[in-house]
Structure 1
Amino acid sequence: MPDGVIVKALSGYYYVKPILNGRAVTTIGQKAIQCRARGVFRNRDITPLVGDHVVYSLTENGEGTVTEVKPRHSELIRPQVANVQFAVLLFSLREPDLNLGLLDKFLVHIEHAGLDTLICLTKQDLVDNELLDKDDPITYVQELYERIGYEVIVTSSRSGAGQERLKERLAGNICVFSGQSGVGKSSLINAMMPGLNLETNEISMKLGRGKHTTRHVELIELENGAFVADTPGFSQLDFLEVETDELSACFREFAPLAANCKFRGCSHLHEPGCKVIEARDNGDISLGRYKNYEHFYAEIKDKKRRY
């Protein structure tokens, strides 16, 4: 029976493209095979995900049946995507305004999943030039996160800025596009793949956030061999899958400091001899990032207590 990769899951159907030696062999524009999953998966509490490598059989009507889900090397909870090689987190500079607290929350989830991350700042064309002269948010964010070790790309779907660099980074990889609602994920993919025409929508100025134009997860094949998962936008995330003792490892700048803390299992909140607190006080790490760590720690404890 042939192998394939699930590129879309919708209303109980799984849309599978054939693969050979781990790579999809279909061409852009060729339809995926519409499949159902065997009932045995429900008995085993297995739910096939977009990105899963599967074995499937063809039926007489030209459709198929997923008979086996192969082991995953990575899995995201939100969005639910398997076998992603890295994540692209998209956050807009305007409409909605850049939310670094939410960006850090997304980074925690991606780090916890063990994926590398590329930060993509969108809507560069909406940044007011007078504000740039006074207080440049692009330079601030780039310096903050590049110092930690993240790659930051600034893009604009209208002007085309940053798109070629982003396409080069995506080439040959399976990656997930995610971020806050209304930041322009679908618009950016449309700009990189003319003719795709993913549904987009304008930002809700009354609510200050975007409408959810992407309602399901789907792998989109680009001309350079990349598969991009365009995912539903999220305005908030919970921490049900992250433990308090795992949180500090999700802040990259904490890791080399935590190894030298006085107490093993240091929470980096109040302990004497804590190197993270010392770095905070000396200005060696971002105070804003540290405050987000404190907030996330308290949020995790509260959710674990209630659930």
Structure 2
Amino acid sequence: MPSGIIIKGIGGFYYVKSENGVYECKARGAFRKDSKIPLPGDEVILSVVDEEKKKGYIEEICPRKIQLVRPAVANINQIALVVSVKSPLPDFTLLDKLLVTVMQKKINAIICINKIDLDEEYKDFVVDCYKDTGFEIVAISSVLDVGFEQLAKMLEGKITVFAGQSGVGKSTILNRILDSYVMKTGDISDKIERGKHTTRHAELLELKSGGFVVDTPGFSSFELSDIEPEHLQNYYPEFKEYIGNCKFVGCSHITEPGCQVKRPWRTER
């Protein structure tokens, strides 16, 4: 039986891309009995019932390497975290939470700084904040026409989720990368400087150079309920060389005297 990857699911139908094209499939009842729902990104085995109309059934879901809850997508191996220098200003708390999640799940990450034409100096400030994390950073602007070739290279051969707060330009970036209008872009509210939520579902979009990208609805909150506070320090790469050298065992690196994690920041800034 042929195999493929689910690129989207709508109303109980799943669209599976295989070497013979895209098939519209339903899932066998066994999946509902086991409470296992097929997700975009799943590698599946399918049976074809009508080759001409490209109809079939999903017979088996291959073991997942990783699964995200929001967005509901499987087997991604990279997240592009998008912030803008203005309109809206970066939500650094959200960005840090997303980076912690990336570290926890052992996924590669790109920090994508958009709209750099609005404030070049502030772009440099954002880069300075994250340059010691080890994550790739790319600065882009559709107005200046910079950064898109570099970003496209980073996406080749991977399944990449784009994430970040509303209005930072995720869908606009995807439109440019894919060289076509694939998502409805939203305007920024002048009063609250947030984008309208225009992305409604997770869908894998194939890149000409290989790999897929998936857009997600913008969001302004993110919880890390499954990470214990004492483990949080392990998900900050720039802390690594200082952890274990603090004056007190169990240092939270917040208010304790003799904290070696805080010391270089205090002396350098």
For 1:259-287, what per-residue CA distance to the aligned partner results, in whole angstroms no more than 9, with x for missing partners?
43466654334556543244454448xxx
Does structure 1 residue 196 correspond to structure 2 residue 188?
A: no
Q: Which residue of 1 aligns with 2:27?
A: 37
2:241 alignment partner, SS class? helix
Secondary structure at 1:177's aligned position in 2?
strand
Displacement of 1:195 after TM fit? 2.7
Residues 11-62 of structure 1: CA deviation (Å, up to 9, x unaligned): 22221111xxxxxx46xxx6x3222222222322322221111111122463
The number of residues matched between the two structures is 267
Letter in 2 for 1:10: I
In structure 2, runs of 5+ residues without a counterpart are none
- Please give the secondary structure, in 2, of the residue aligned with 1:242: coil
**Following the alignment from structure 2 to structure 1, what is the Cα–Cα distance between the partners of residues 134 and 54?**
48
* Percent identity between the two aligned chains: 42
RMSD over aligned CA atoms reads 2.2
C-alpha distance after superposition, 1:200-249 (max 9, x if no partner): 11112222211111111111111111211111111111122322233222
Q: 1:246/1:8 Cα in 2 relative to 1: closer, same or farther (>3 Å)?
A: farther
The answer as to whether partners of 1:57 and 1:65 remain within 8 angstroms in 2 is yes
Moved more, 40-49 or 231-240: 40-49
Cross-structure match for 2:160: 175
Tell me, in whole angstroms, the C-alpha distance in 2 between the residues paired with 1:182 and 1:232: 10
In structure 2, the partner of 1:111 is 103
8 Å contact kept, 2:167–2:193: no
The corresponding residue for 1:100 is 92
Q: TM-score, normalised by structure 2?
A: 0.89
Deviation at 1:143, TM superposition (A): 2.0
Q: Residues 55 and 275 (structure 1 numbering): CA distance in 2 closer, same or farther, change over 3 Å?
A: same
Within 5 Å, which residues of 2 pair with 1:115-130?
115-127=107-119
Q: How does 1:1-307 map to 2 (within 5 A)?
A: 1-18=1-18, 25=19, 32-60=22-50, 62-127=54-119, 132=120, 136-261=121-246, 265-269=250-254, 274-283=259-268
Alpha-carbon distance change, 40 to 265 in structure 1, aligned in 2, over 3 angstroms: farther
TM-score between the two structures when normalised by the length of structure 1 = 0.79
User: Cα distance, 1:10 vs. partner?
Assistant: 2.1
Higher helix share: 1
Change (3 A) 1:59 1:97: same
AA matched with 1:195? S
Alignment partner of 1:205: what SS? coil
Measured in 2, the distance between the counterparts of 1:42 and 1:240 equals: 27
CA contact (8 A) 1:76 1:113 kept: no
